[in-house]
Structure 1
Amino acid sequence: MKKIGFLSFGFWQEQASLVKTAEQSYLESIDLAVEAEKLGVDGAWYRVHHFANQIGSPFPLMSAIGQKTSKIEIGTGLIDMRYENPYMMAENAGLTDILTMNRVQLGVGRGSPEQVQDGWQYFGYDYTEEEIKDIARARTLEFLQLIKGEKFAEPNRQPMFPQAPGKLRIEPYSAGLNQRIWWGAGSKETAIWAAEQGMNLQSSTLVNYESSEPFHVQQANQLRAYKEAWKKAGHDFEPRTLVTRSILPITSDLDRQILATGAQSEDQVGFLAYHQNPTIFGKTFVGEPEKLVEELKNDEAIQEADTVLVTVPNTLGIDYNVHILDTIMKDMAPDLGWR
């Protein structure tokens, strides 16, 4: 049994897309979560990018989804901590978790290269790319501490409103949120660090190229190292692990026309900006459901993870993405043992 979710980047563009504006993208992101919940999908997750025609402000979106749904998990994959103020983020996350009835699953991390050079500087953080690496981790740890609800701030001697004596904390506080924070790890080293800090593990369709083994094997090794580090750390709750896959089942001539060309059918090794080491990108799974079931059964990382996110081509519109999710839930998940 696994939890199954979708991951949307929320793209919009005027040309070659059914989603043409930011308004349409955000509103359809809500609608897709509503329809996914009806299909029995466990999670609606959204990638966050700044200065781009994509989802960039997740907390209002997550809150809106929470008001239209009742069970589905609402997550991010992931929020780039280079851009975040831990205190403001703790307020936003706490309130969002309350409004969504404790369904927030918050993925955070250093993030990938953005559209703008040193974009965090426009958000008020005057750091170089090299300096920001450690700062992103430090901000994450500060955020984790804040959402635990411990009181730390000295009260004003003459406050505007009456209050109980003693120090204050960030409000609103949402109990249990600190156990639903995920670190987006790209390497075995960062996976181990996430386990030591008490965060769940989120691994995407790319990881650092740390051996000559296939992508799914390298990713599985990352997950195993994380689980071993978690045991050694002795945390008081069970962790979760997540992998993301591009899965595009073909069940009709229309599917074949839309999906059968241009997909990445093999793992690929390349370099991302600012990365000194190569990265391996996982392939896209395209084909008839029976064929994909056999391929996915041999994916070691999927076997290791308790949650699988399916990236959806949101620019094809809600109806087509519901069709993809419905096929996966009905025609593939039972045969894979995910349901």
Structure 2
Amino acid sequence: MQRLRQLLEIENSELAHLLRFSLHGLESALNQARTELPQDPGAKVCDEVLQELHNLLQPVPLQQDSGWEDATAIISPPDELKLIHLQKAFDSDPELRYYLGNSPLQSQTDSDLWNEIQRKLLRVPEDLATSWQQRALDVAQEAGAIEDNSNLYQLPFCRDEIIYPGLKGTVITQGLCLSQKALLNSEITQGNESGNLYLLAGLLLVCINFIEIEPDLHHALKSIFGFDIISLHSKPEQRNQYLDALSDRFHRTQKAEENADPLLSLRTWIDMDEAIHSLVFVPPVERYSWWGKLQQESRRILKKVADRAINAGNDVRIRQLSGLYADICALSKDDLQLDCGGIPGEVLTCLRVYARINQEESPGRVVFRSSR
């Protein structure tokens, strides 16, 4: 590990950049394999290897690499950023701060800056994101870079979609897309090439991949830690536990679907939906952002599963909790409070739906904005 670190710390080295890229790929592959093989005899040692890789890949001066960028990305010192005007405008926009909080952009290279900005725009309302995406392209073109849709990092999902483009020219960096082919080629979809489980597998893989490339992600899953919203980037042990929980709930949902018991399926889908919605940002994303709409895919599946239980003769009511916290707090339990984002006194995001199944009530869980 010492020699690897020495190479990684060499400034302006293409070999160092390529090594970092490869190690991030190894870390991502091991994380995904660890999630899919929780009972593997090498699991404990794998966790130790992942921890060593995490420590090794801490950012070095002038090269905060996200681990999935093209190995030929241009590295520029902070005072020579070609997109510096975009960075300053983004950080000073009050409307963006309303949705994203006050944390300034952290990137030290144009390549990382492009991706950091584009990923943050996935958390704001669609119209605001669209205007800023065009503004970012205009600034990039003024700096001699042009849009590149041929160099995209693929997230496995049930449809094809360019989330945002890459760049070529004076700045070279990957964009991001959803890929149906990548989902069909993944082991998790074998035997589930259509239907609810197919869509769920796509949601699961998007979550797993985003955890690897997005340092701002947190979790609020009560079964792991019920008292706060935890950073997955700074707490690798929490990240591993959250990934384990995602995998476990997915497999339980698969088994429930195989048993064809509508009530058992409904309960496992509620747990699965909670795990997906417990992957959060601080402040939580706007409901009609790209992220918000993606997570709502899970709620749409849940409604179908609830309707199936109703059609089987059961009394079922599912409610996504929103609006004023004072109006819904009787239906929720163990809620989390933030002093940023949204409107004071309102629900910021519904982590778990309220459910009543044949007169048995199951409280929901939310994140809400303090009223002060």
Give the TM-score band, short-chain normalised. under 0.3
More helix by share: 2
Larger RCO of the pair (alpha carbons < 8 Å, separation 6+): 1
Bigger radius of gyration, 1 or 2? Answer: 2
